[in-house]
Structure 1
Amino acid sequence: MTTTGAKHTRKGHAWTMLLLAGVFEIGYALSVGGSRAFTVPGWSVSAALFFLLTLYALSVALREIDVGIGYAVWAGIGSVGAAVFGSILLDQPLTPIQAFWLAVIIAGVIWLKLADSTRRQAGSR
């Protein structure tokens, strides 16, 4: 594999880890909500586990992805996922205006990823 190919593989792995960190962040947020201020033992243990998993996956991703971009994507995935799954699993309301602004966050995350890909392509020339 060429050096450029190895870089692309590392970047791809980093983005996969960032997506995984986002999924763990959703689990963490939902678990904290279900823990009722850490008074429900099962949810509290789940929150601690998801917290450790999200930090690990995020730290691995940030070895290859700029901190500002990685953190924004991670936070976006976590906030949108927590709102959507909180609505479904925890019966929390999700209004149309909230759904609109969550869609804006999703669009922003996609634009950040595209901007990172464009910068990477320009840098490999």
Structure 2
Amino acid sequence: MAWLALIVSGLFETVWAAALSASRGLSKPVPSIVFAVALVISMAGLGYALRTLPVGTGYAVWVGVGAVGTAVYGMVAMGDPVSAGRITCLVLIVAGVAGLKILH
């Protein structure tokens, strides 16, 4: 259950990062509220997962899921640049996260 909570928390990290960007420095109310709610959910899930997972593994997986999710969201929805190098780097992050899970 801790791994599921960790993955979902990482996805909520993607939500709060996207909402933070959309809030334009927390000046727009709706994205600011989405940011705050997603941030709390993300942190709560990370805290729950860290009850049973090692902090280094848990935090690295949480950040990895959030970073890859946010980068993909930026490329798909926000027009961020897409290149072979960027995709390769994202694949390497996913490989590292999978390795942490497999070797746990």
- Report the TM range for the smaller structure's normalisation: over 0.9
1:63, distance to aligned residue in structure 2 (A): 0.2
Asked which structure has the greater RCO (Cα within 8 Å, sep 6+), the reply is: 2
Q: Percent identity?
A: 37
CA contact (8 A) 1:25 1:78 kept: yes
Shift of 1:37: 1.1
1:46 alignment partner in structure 2: 34
Amino acid at match of 2:98: I
| TM-aligned CA deviation for residue 35 of structure 1 | 1.1
Superposition map of 1:83-98 within 5 A: 83-98=71-86
Question: Deviation per CA, 1:60-103, whole angstroms, max 9, x where unpaired?
Answer: 00000000000000000000000001211222223221111011
- The 3-state SS of whatever aligns with 2:79 is coil
Q: Which runs of 5+ in 1 are unaligned?
A: 1-12, 117-125
Matched, 1:66 2:54: yes
What value does the CA root-mean-square deviation take over the aligned residues?
0.9
CA drift of 1:108 comes to 0.3
Runs (5+) with no aligned partner, structure 2: none
- What code does the residue aligned with 1:30 have? A
The alignment's TM-score, normalised by the length of structure 2, stands at 0.95
User: Which runs of at least 4 in structure 1 moved beyond 4 Å after TM superposition?
Assistant: none
Among candidates 88, 95, 100, match of residue 100 of structure 1: 88
Q: Looking at CA atoms only, which structure, 1 or 2, has the larger radius of gyration?
A: 1
Query: Does the CA contact (< 8 Å) of 1:84 and 1:94 recur in 2?
Result: no
- Tell me, in whole angstroms, the C-alpha distance in 2 between the residues paired with 1:54 and 1:35: 18
TM-score, structure 1 normalization: 0.80
Could you tell me how far 1:36 is from its partner in structure 2? 1.2
In the comparison of the two structures, how many residue pairs are matched? 104
